[in-house]
Structure 1
């Protein structure tokens, strides 16, 4: 995950402790491998704007905006099954909410809390706060691809996807100094997430494991 430059040579990676351990509740049987057995893969492309991401439910979803200096490009992020599409939509917005919170320098972002369970919210806020403390912003672009999604027998959703951060950088808000992400396989991360549906119909992320180089 994107990380403040002062704290690591790999600009866009979180601390080792957070990268190599999952936060939140258990990730399920699929969390030990890079594939989800029986999962559907994305079969189309869709814009990442707030209108496209709104899943049918009773919830009033927050609008999430990224800056002109930073783009998150989601590839093949559609599924013909509406239930699986809802998981893709809310999983995407959880990631976009964290990027937006860094850009806004707001660890207490309501959008991050909306799409994160209590178990994962603490870690998300800690990650965002690292940028705020270092006065760093994020610029450039990330490519999000190779989504795998399914609903487990327990009713939980499993969503794996890859994030290529090699074209993203951090930029200090005061000095303007830019630190680029190393062009290495470790800068392509695999996110292994679990989501659970709330009473309002929101698929909140309840567990996250980030694996550097997991998509190579």
Structure 2
């Protein structure tokens, strides 16, 4: 059983919100935030919140201040990082190792701040390796510079970077076949949407179980 609670956190970037999905015998916390175009209702974030507490991982779904304020556009990266830093004491509050995570823009935040904040590991969901159609504008340095054990979960058809576009590195990568940036799969795909989401959760459960 999990106990779900929400708390509001004041940061220098504004008011943020954490929704806790608490495991009974937690050994890790996965703090995971949304991207620049959506919130914590994203299918992968909700699935992780449902599944991981059963595997000893408490999930903290984080809504960045701009989202709590009802704005439709995310602010500059430095402001996103500022909000994440302000949230960190609450995320580390349970006293457990914290996996810093996020999807898309949130994954970039997690990578940029991991070493500074003392993250145990990084989970990068749909890492935006480059803007669609602009592979020359690579953000690989952020991923490669995370400095802690890192898992990338990437859709096979993600226009922000398909798995085969990613550079060599020490991170692990799980591919969601046929998935787009939101891990949606076309109806003609040989796996359905539930199976695609299960690739995400299974991959994260396995990886989290391997972390020391």
TM-score clears 0.5:
no
TM-score normalised by L of structure 2: 0.25
| Structure with the larger RCO, 1 or 2 (CA within 8 Å, 6+ apart) | 1
